[in-house]
């Protein structure tokens, strides 16, 4: 808005008059709405505009003591009408010889009343509430669809946006008694997310684990129900978030392990622990435009280049820029094999037993078809030219 008023400094008088008249109409309409009804409140923002003097146009905030500071002047405005504040600013500018005959327009900058809810909730965003709305922390989270699956209920933060700028942390675990925690307008509610790791393969309950920070391999195996009878603990595979694979050994009595906590023996956010089958190699399917499509028996996760190599390499007509992965759970992913140098190398995508890698056919121009269409077009164009003659 300030830049808009600065545009009033133009050299041609008619244009300047037109701009000033437009702005004047805007503020007349605004102040008509607020001048005698609306009373200024603490914490809100006022736009003080001096028509024809853009250097004196500024936004100021009403402090908690109800006062504002404007060009060295300190004014008590909380509870006053816009008309009264207009007169205060005008008298100040004249008295201090800033402007001889100023046209002052004061307008409150209306902001949407709302509460911000983010983090591990189902629908993060800003939700409208009114100053009269009686809303608590639980209700604010409910407006955002409720707590998500990966939410850390012990780390719910309420960030106050008033002058104190406090950050309050609450434990909303289901076993905790209800707390009446009031949320004010424009406060921010942030539900801290938990880290997510996966345990796949030969365990009793494969799937995701939600953790705080890191977790040991032994703990991850225990939380996944322990290994099955077919699990091979001598060849556990850890897949890091960037696609790096590491293979290591665990004893049959892994829960009694006293091994030091190293990088290999812990899982971090985004990591996957894969437990292979001790008796058999498991299938990964490579289909499409490879030389030898079919089933490939593997002992664990596999990168796309290795899977293509097991399939005999790309066929001449293969698309080498994008592949399709059909996951064992039914999900489908289209993976680009071209790295963006500006964004760096993307994390490596891995195939797991039961997945299907589909190599598509590359786009090829059918020159015979192109020639046919070109011949038809040129022939038609020639006929049109003859007819026009």
- Strand, helix or coil at 134? coil
Instruction: Indicate whether 242 and 301 sit together in one domain.
Output: no
| Same domain assignment for residues 121 and 187 | yes
Domains: count for the chain: 4
Same domain, 26 and 85: yes
Domain final position from 193, 223, 246 = 193
In a domain? residue 368: no
pLDDT at 323: 92
Q: What are the tens digits of pLDDT across the range 106-145?
A: 877 655 677 888 888 888 877 877 666 668 888 888 888 8
Q: Would the pLDDT of 341 be above 50?
A: no
| Rounded alpha-carbon distances, angstroms, from residue 275 to 154, 237, 245, 326 | 31, 7, 13, 21
What CATH number has the domain bearing residue 328?
3.10.560.10
In a domain, 221, yes or no: yes
Residue carrying structure tokens 């696609």: 243
User: Residue 2: pLDDT above 50?
Assistant: no
Specify if 270 maps to a domain. Answer: yes
- Domain range spanning residue 130? 114-193
Last residue of a domain, one of 41, 76, 109: 109
Q: Is residue 380 part of a domain?
A: no
Domain stop point among 193, 212, 246: 193
Rounded to an integer, the average pLDDT of 70-90 is 87
Nearest C-alpha neighbor of 211 from the set 124, 270, 284: 270
Please report whether residue 387 resides in a domain.
Answer: no
* Distance between CA atoms of residues 288 and 349, nearest Å: 18
pLDDT of amino acid 6: 45
Most confident by average pLDDT, 13-27, 177-191, 314-328, 331-345:
314-328
In this structure, is residue 381 part of a structural domain?
A: no
Model confidence pTM above 0.75: no
143 and 237 co-located in one domain: no
Quote the pLDDT of residue 255.
53
| The most confident of 26-30, 163-167, 295-299, by mean pLDDT | 295-299
User: Model confidence over 188-197: pLDDT tens digits?
Assistant: 888 888 999 9
Residue 379 placed within a domain: no
Average pLDDT in the chain: 78
Exposed/middle/buried for 132, CB within 10 Å: 0-12, 13-18, 19+?
A: exposed
Q: Are residues 267 and 312 in the same domain?
A: no
Q: Is residue 382 part of a domain?
A: no
Q: What is the mean pLDDT of residues 99-103?
A: 79
Q: Indicate whether 49 and 101 sit together in one domain.
A: yes
User: Same domain for 177 and 203?
Assistant: no
């Amino acid at each position: 808005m300030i830049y808009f008023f600065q545009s009033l400094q133009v050299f041609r008088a008619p244009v300047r008059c037109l701009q000033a008249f437009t702005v004047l109409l805007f503020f007349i309409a605004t102040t008509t709405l607020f001048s005698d009804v609306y009373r200024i409140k603490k914490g809100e923002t006022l736009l003080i505009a001096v028509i024809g003097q853009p250097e004196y146009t500024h936004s100021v905030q009403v402090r908690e003591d109800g006062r504002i500071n404007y060009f060295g002047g300190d004014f008590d405005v909380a509870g006053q009408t816009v008309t009264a504040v207009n007169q205060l600013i005008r008298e100040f500018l004249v008295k201090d010889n800033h402007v001889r005959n100023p046209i002052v327009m004061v307008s409150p900058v209306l902001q949407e009343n709302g509460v911000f809810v983010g983090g591990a909730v189902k629908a993060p965003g800003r939700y409208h509430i009114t100053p009269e709305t009686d809303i608590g922390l639980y209700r604010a989270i409910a407006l955002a669809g409720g707590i998500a699956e990966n939410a850390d209920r012990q780390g719910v933060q309420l960030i106050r946006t008033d002058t104190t700028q406090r950050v309050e942390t609450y434990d909303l675990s289901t076993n905790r008694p209800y707390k009446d925690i009031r949320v004010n307008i424009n406060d921010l509610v942030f539900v801290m997310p938990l880290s997510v790791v996966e345990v796949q393969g030969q365990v009793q309950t494969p799937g995701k684990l939600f953790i705080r920070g890191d977790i040991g391999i032994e703990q991850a195996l225990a939380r996944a129900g322990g290994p099955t009878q077919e699990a091979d603990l001598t060849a556990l595979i850890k897949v890091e978030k960037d696609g790096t694979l590491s293979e290591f050994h665990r004893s049959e009595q892994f829960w009694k392990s006293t091994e030091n906590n190293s990088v290999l023996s812990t899982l971090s956010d985004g990591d996957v622990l894969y437990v292979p089958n001790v008796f058999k190699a498991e299938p990964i399917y490579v289909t499409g435009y490879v030389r030898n499509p079919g089933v490939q028996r593997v002992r664990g996760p596999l990168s796309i280049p290795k899977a293509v190599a097991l399939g005999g390499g790309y066929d001449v007509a293969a698309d080498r820029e994008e592949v399709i992965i059909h996951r064992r759970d039914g999900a489908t992913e289209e993976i680009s094999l071209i790295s963006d140098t500006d964004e760096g190398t993307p994390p490596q995508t891995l195939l797991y037993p039961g997945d299907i890698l589909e190599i598509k056919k590359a786009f090829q121009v059918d020159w015979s078809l192109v020639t046919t269409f070109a011949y038809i077009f040129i022939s038609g164009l020639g006929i049109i030219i003859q007819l026009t003659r």
